[in-house]
Structure formats: structure tokens, C-alpha cells
Amino acid sequence: MNMLPKPFIIPVFLPSAGCPHQCAFCNQRTITNIKEKNFPPEKIPPMIDEYLAYKGKHRDMVQIAFYGGNFLGLEKNYIESLLKETEKYVESGVINSIRFSTRPDTIKNAQLDIIDKFSVKTVEVGVQSMNDSVLALSQRGHTSFDTQKALTLLKERGYETGAQIMVGLPGDNEKSALLTSERIVELKPDFVRIYPTVVLADSLLARWYKNGTYSPLSLDDCVTLVKKIYLKFNKNSIPVIRMGLQAADYLKEEMSILAGPYHPSFGHMVFSEIFLDMAISALKTDFALQSSSLDSSKNRAAIKVHPSCISKVRGLKNKNIKIIKEKFQINNLKIIPDSTIKPDGLMVDLNQG
Ligand code: SF4
């Protein structure tokens, strides 16, 4: 697993601010549960103070993050006033740097010149898909070429880059989602987030869902697809810093999500499936090697994993344990913590259990 050092993030949500239009899947006001459109820059200092009170000692790096809108699509003066207010904290050493998310079609030299004098380190690009018909059906209003240009330009200017992609958009399928991940691998962002498409109330997608022209992915299919995408990025040493929507308060309002593969432990489910695949493959190999004593050894087995991975190998509600026991007819299956095993591996022992 490729990991990035985790900064302590102070988030500022700017719902739909700077958006040229509404994407079909989006209702930022639902997502952030903030009704106020223009976040006043003078609210930044009290917000920083409030968040810093929760900063654990172990997180050295602190970033303020402007999320939820299209940062570089905001008015120049407003961008500058938000960044000026934040920059004071960078100068005093309280905050290390700034990050924001923005649309690919707003990443141009003129916009980047505005932020040049501030301590912006990280720019997250709302890629969503690298398939132009999926982008058009989702009413994104930009193309995959915009994303290619945006990530290239950000890299040229020395920014840390993130790519946010979505699966299950209108017109998307497994093939186009995997191709999107391949195109993104080629563009080498520093990290990726993968979001399942859910149907948010009051979005255009909600209308299409209600009239039967859009069906979301099932949770199981989505977990399997995101697993395949995760493995592609992992193989290419690109850290995936998030899979699934944030289990934050705004999503607890059941009415906000009408349908779709939302689960508060989505990322955990993806990792559990990866560990299940690894366990099945290792057990198959080991049982095949010990085929002469098959009947006796199949009654018991142990899977050794790094202590931090116990819940991943077990799966939600011990789902993986049940599958493995049934598949291999094992009566006694033990999961043993072993800190000598790497967090992305496991070892099977047929003599224990
Ligand atoms: S997805 Fe992003 S660009 Fe589209 S409407 Fe929502 S916030 Fe704006």
C-alpha cells in the first residue's frame, strides 16, 4: 500500500462557489449541508483556532483546505481575500500550507498566477472521468483533454497534485472506469481519491433515477470495481488517499442520499475484498501443495496478518471468515496478528488453527 504522510486538515467548505453550472450528479448544498454561499474570509481565523484545539501531537503538518466548490472559478478578489486571511497563519508558523479542489477547466496560467504568491502546496483536480461521453452525460462541461492539460500545468508549476475520480456516472461502466484509471496513471498525480456516484436529493441525477433513466451501481459491484481501480494505482505507486464518501454529519441526513453505493465503511470494504482475494489465493496454493494430506489439513488453517489488518482480513461482520470457511470447508480458522508481516500481505499456515 502506498501511503502519503497524513496532514492535519482544517476544511473550509465553499458549496458550489465558483461553479459555472450544476453537474448532473452534484448538489453541493446537500453534500456540505451549508446554506451560506459566500464563506466570509473573516470566519477563517476562528475556524482555524477551533480546529487546532483538536490537533493531535502526532500530526506535524497542518493544511487549510478549501473544498466543495470550484476554487479557481471564484472571483479573483475573493480568492485573494481567502488566501490572505490564511497566509497570516502560514507566516506565523501555525499552518504549513494551503490546498483546494477545483475543476480542470479552471486550471490555467492566469488563474495560477493569482495563487502564485500564496503558500498553496496541493491542488486537487475534479477529474471524475477520462471518458468524454461520460463527462458529457454527467454535464461536467469539460473534457478529458482539459484534465490532461490541467495536471500537466500543475506539475510544471511544482504543485502537489491530486485527482478525484468517480465510478458509476451516467454512461460509465467497468471498462470506461478502468480506462480512466489508466489515463490517470499516465498523468502521474501525487495521489488519488475514488468516489462512488450516489444519487443526491435535488440533483439532476435524482430526476433521472426517479424516471428510470439512471441506475446506480450496487454496493457490491461498486466495491469490486473500486478494488480493481485501487490495485491499478497501487501497482503504479500512486497513493489512494480516500475511497468512498466521507462519513460526515452532512451525510447522516438520510434524505440527502436517495440511492447508490454509499456505506460509511466503503474503503474498509474495498480493503477487505483485497484481503479476501489474497487469502483465497494463498489457501488454494497451500492446499494444492499439501494435497496428499488434504483431508486432514483442510479442517484447520491460520491466516497471519499485520496487527493493523485484522479487521480487514475478517471483513465486515466476519464476512470473509464465513466465505473462506465455506469455500475451503475449514472448521477451525484462526486469524493471527503478526507484526513481522507487511501491512499489505498475509501468510497462511495450515499447521495452525
Ligand atoms: S461537482 Fe464540482 S464543479 Fe460540479 S457542481 Fe459540484 S462542486 Fe461544482
Q: What are 6-24's pLDDT values in tens digits?
A: 889 999 988 767 787 789 9
Span 175-192, mean pLDDT?
98
23 CB within 6 A, ligand 1: yes
84 pLDDT more than 60: yes
126 CB within 6 A, ligand 1: yes
Cβ proximity of 170 and 214 under 8 Å: yes
Cell of 294: 488434504
* Apex 244 CA angle, 28 and 62, nearest 5: 75
User: What is the Å distance from ligand 1's center to 136 Cα?
Assistant: 14
Q: Residue 59 to residues 9, 95, 98: CA-CA distances in angstroms?
A: 10, 12, 16
The residue contributing the CA closest to ligand 1 atom 6 is: 26
Q: Which helix (H) or strand (E) holds 297?
A: helix 294-297
Q: What is the pTM of this model?
A: 0.91
Cβ proximity of 337 and 317 under 8 Å: no
45 pLDDT more than 70: yes
User: What is the Å distance from ligand 1's center to 69 Cα?
Assistant: 6
The residue contributing the CA closest to ligand 1 atom 8 is: 19
Q: Give residue 294's pLDDT.
A: 47
Cβ proximity of 131 and 144 under 8 Å: yes
The per-residue pLDDT for range 130-167, each reduced to its tens digit, is: 999 999 999 999 999 999 999 999 999 999 999 999 99
Cβ proximity of 181 and 233 under 8 Å: yes
Band (57; pLDDT cuts 50, 70, 90): low
Mean pLDDT of the chain: 90
Span 89-104, mean pLDDT?
94
Listing from the earlier edge strand, what are the strands of the sheet with 346-349?
A: 332-337, 300-305, 346-349
Burial class of residue 242 (count of CB atoms within 10 Å of its CB; 0-12, 13-18, 19+): middle
The residue contributing the CA closest to ligand 1 atom 5 is: 22
16 CB within 6 A, ligand 1: yes
The per-residue pLDDT for range 201-255, each reduced to its tens digit, is: 989 999 999 999 999 999 999 999 999 999 999 999 999 999 998 765 445 455 5
* Mutational pocket test of ligand 1: of 26, 32, 146, the residue with most ligand atoms within 8 Å of the beta carbon: 26
Burial class of residue 324 (count of CB atoms within 10 Å of its CB; 0-12, 13-18, 19+): buried
Cβ proximity of 287 and 328 under 8 Å: yes
Strands (E), the chain: 8-13, 62-67, 97-102, 120-128, 160-167, 191-196, 199-200, 240-243, 257-259, 300-305, 332-337, 346-349
22 CB within 6 A, ligand 1: yes
* Mutational pocket test of ligand 1: of 14, 16, 124, 164, the residue with most ligand atoms within 8 Å of the beta carbon: 16
State percent of the chain over pLDDT 70: 90
User: What is the Å distance from ligand 1's center to 139 Cα?
Assistant: 10
Q: Give residue 352's pLDDT.
A: 74
**Cα separation of 280 and 97, whole Å?**
44
Cβ proximity of 224 and 167 under 8 Å: no
The contacts of residue 216 (CB under 8 Å, 6+ apart) are 168, 197, 198, 199, 209, 259, 260, 261
Choose among 223, 302, 324: nearest CA to 268: 223
Q: What number of other Cβ atoms are within 10 A of residue 229's Cβ?
A: 23
**Cα separation of 10 and 100, whole Å?**
11
DSSP state of 153: H
User: What is the Å distance from ligand 1's center to 209 Cα?
Assistant: 19
The residue contributing the CA closest to ligand 1 atom 7 is: 69
3-class DSSP state of 180: helix
**Cα separation of 282 and 286, whole Å?**
6
Closest atom of ligand 1 to CA, residue 22: 5
User: What is the Å distance from ligand 1's center to 23 Cα?
Assistant: 6
Closest atom of ligand 1 to CA, residue 15: 7
Span 314-318, mean pLDDT?
96
